[in-house]
């Protein structure tokens, strides 16, 4: 993927994706925005999540400053920006 194509891709971060509201939100976003790259963040990864091509689930204890710092560093390796930040927890 070229940088120009990457810049056009919408990036959505959903914090609290393991709960019922977060899961439903991700399902709707994945259907309505098939070209967006959606990241579901939760403290505990749930293995029963529905596989969707444009959704990536990541684990982060967002109550821990150290865990948040490590997450941000890892996220910045793959993405250059965030278009929407949705917090459900």
Q: Are 17 and 85 in contact (CB under 8 A)?
A: no
Q: Along the 89 residues of the chain, how does pLDDT read in single tens digits?
A: 444 444 568 999 999 998 899 999 999 999 999 999 999 999 888 765 677 889 999 999 988 999 999 999 989 998 989 999 999 98
Structure confidence at residue 3 (pLDDT):
46
Question: Residue 7's pLDDT is what?
Answer: 52
Predicted pLDDT at 30: 94
Report pTM. Answer: 0.82
| Cα distance between residue 61 and residue 64, in whole Å | 6
């Amino acid at each position: 993927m070229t940088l120009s194509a990457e810049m056009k891709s919408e990036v959505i971060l959903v914090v609290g994706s393991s709960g019922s509201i977060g899961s439903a939100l991700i399902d709707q976003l994945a259907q309505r925005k098939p070209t967006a790259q959606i990241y579901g963040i939760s403290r505990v990864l749930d293995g029963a999540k529905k596989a969707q091509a444009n959704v990536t689930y990541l684990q982060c204890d967002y109550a821990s400053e150290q865990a948040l710092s490590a997450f941000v560093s890892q996220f910045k390796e793959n993405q250059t920006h965030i278009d929407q930040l949705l917090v459900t927890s």
